[in-house]
Amino acid sequence: MEIAVISGKGGTGKSSISAAFASEHDKIVLADCDVDAANLYIIFEPEITEKSSFIGAQKAEIDYSKCTNCGTCIDYCRFDAIKFDNGKVVINEIFCDGCKLCSRICPENAISMIDNAENLLLSGNFRHGKMVYGRLAPGEENSGRLVNLVRDKAKKIAEQNNIETIIIDGPPGIGCPVISTITGVDHVVVVTEPSLSGMHDLKRTLELTNSFNLKTWVIINKFDLNSEFSDKIVEYCNHEGIDVLAKLPYDKQIVDAMVNCKSITEYLPDAEIVKIIKIALNKIINF
Ligand code: SF4
Ligand code: SF4
């Protein structure tokens, strides 16, 4: 069973909830698909047993033994990745889109395209089972592809180790990496917070999960910070036929747990919020 935890925007507490879900098991695969800002490895400190490079877009590189500093490539690069720096033509690899145009137009044939192998796919053991995550190189944009690699690896590990449940911590938003995260999963949990922007993002996210016909649940995090908006979210979900899985109160200890490299379940196993999270997870598993 694959359970994806996503949110319309960052900062809703999605990763804390994923970490708490993962800590409810002794044998789980945890896939951190928030590849632009993977953070669960910081909490769970997995012992890495496999590490591979993921080739992203190519980057342009100048061979200065051939370059005459004519500046032609600067005029052609529409991503403004090439500039004069102290009188010398240089390429900023963060801005380079890998379009190859400069390598084609350089009169001296001084530019070649090289693989950007900085993206990483890592997997290993952690205290609740197996963990997989990706690290996208700075400036890399093809995070959808890396998300797919993380998910494929997680499924393979689950099969090899007879593990039934995969928890996926997804990226925020509704873009390509989120679509890659939720495609084909069994359950999607959308974490939201009670505010106007939270409501707006939730609606967009639910439109997305509806279009994929996925079993979707909503968790309202910090619901007590704005009860009026929480009620509106519940009303909206009821109207749309979406189950509100849990309403979690604001609890500063969640942040304290993260600071101490623990999930809230590990940090305060008897806390009220942990009981609510447990009930929520059981609802999904027994659905
Ligand atoms: S076009 Fe080629 S030769 Fe001219 S500055 Fe660029 S890299 Fe150098
Ligand atoms: S490959 Fe394209 S984006 Fe990169 S430096 Fe060359 S022209 Fe610019």
When divided into structural domains, the chain yields a total of 2
Q: Residue 88 belongs to a domain with what CATH number? A: 3.30.70.20
Task: Kindly state if the Cβ of 62 falls inside 6 Å of ligand 2.
Answer: no
Residue at which a domain ends, from 71, 88, 114: 114
Centre of ligand 2 to C-alpha 114, Å, is 12
185 with 273, same domain: the answer is yes
Range with lowest mean pLDDT among 47-51, 91-95, 113-117, 146-150: 113-117
Q: Is the pLDDT of residue 277 over 80?
A: yes
Measured between alpha carbons, how far is 30 from 124 in angstroms, rounded to an integer? 10
Residue 128: partners with Cβ closer than 8 Å, 6 or more residues away? 22, 23, 25, 26, 27, 28, 30, 44
Region 248-263 average pLDDT: 92
Centre of ligand 2 to C-alpha 83, Å, is 11
Residue 251: partners with Cβ closer than 8 Å, 6 or more residues away? 264, 271, 273
Q: Which residues line ligand 1 (CB under 6 A)?
A: 62, 67-73, 89, 106, 108, 110-111
Nearest-ligand number for the alpha carbon of 96: 2
Measured between alpha carbons, how far is 205 from 216 in angstroms, rounded to an integer? 10
For the chain, list the strands marked E by DSSP.
2-7, 28-32, 47-54, 59-62, 82-85, 88-91, 111-114, 119-126, 129-135, 166-172, 187-192, 216-221, 243-248
Q: Is the pLDDT of residue 37 over 90?
A: no
Region 122-134 average pLDDT: 96
pLDDT per position as a tens digit, 183-208: 999 999 999 999 999 999 999 999 99
Q: Is the pLDDT of residue 175 over 70?
A: yes
147 with 220, same domain: the answer is yes
SS3 content of the chain, % helix, strand, coil (to 5): 40, 25, 35
10 with 137, same domain: the answer is yes
Centre of ligand 1 to C-alpha 112, Å, is 11
31 with 88, same domain: the answer is no
Entry field: residues in the chain: 287
179 with 256, same domain: the answer is yes
Range of the domain at 107: 59-114
Provide the pLDDT confidence category of residue 91 given band limits of 50, 70 and 90: very high
Nearest-ligand number for the alpha carbon of 77: 2
133 with 274, same domain: the answer is yes
Task: Kindly state if the Cβ of 82 falls inside 6 Å of ligand 2.
Answer: yes
137 with 108, same domain: the answer is no
Provide the pLDDT confidence category of residue 74 given band limits of 50, 70 and 90: very high
100 with 124, same domain: the answer is no
Q: Specify the 3-state DSSP secondary structure of 231.
A: helix
Q: pLDDT value at position 117?
A: 65
Q: Residue 280 belongs to a domain with what CATH number? A: 3.40.50.300
- pTM of the prediction? 0.80
79 with 91, same domain: the answer is yes
The residue whose CA is least distant from atom 4 of ligand 2 is 96
Residue at which a domain ends, from 73, 96, 114: 114
Centre of ligand 2 to C-alpha 172, Å, is 29
Q: Is the pLDDT of residue 280 over 90?
A: yes
Measured between alpha carbons, how far is 218 from 236 in angstroms, rounded to an integer? 11
218: region left, alpha or beta (phi > 0 left; psi from -120 to 50 alpha) = beta
68 with 195, same domain: the answer is no
Counting Cβ atoms within 10 Å, is residue 279 exposed (0-12), middle (13-18) or buried (19+)?
exposed
The residue whose CA is least distant from atom 8 of ligand 2 is 77
Centre of ligand 2 to C-alpha 118, Å, is 18
189 with 268, same domain: the answer is yes
176 with 204, same domain: the answer is yes
- Mean predicted lDDT score pLDDT of the chain: 92
Q: pLDDT value at position 17?
A: 95
Query: Among the atoms of ligand 1, which is closest to the Cα of residue 62?
Result: 7
Residue at which a domain ends, from 86, 114, 142: 114
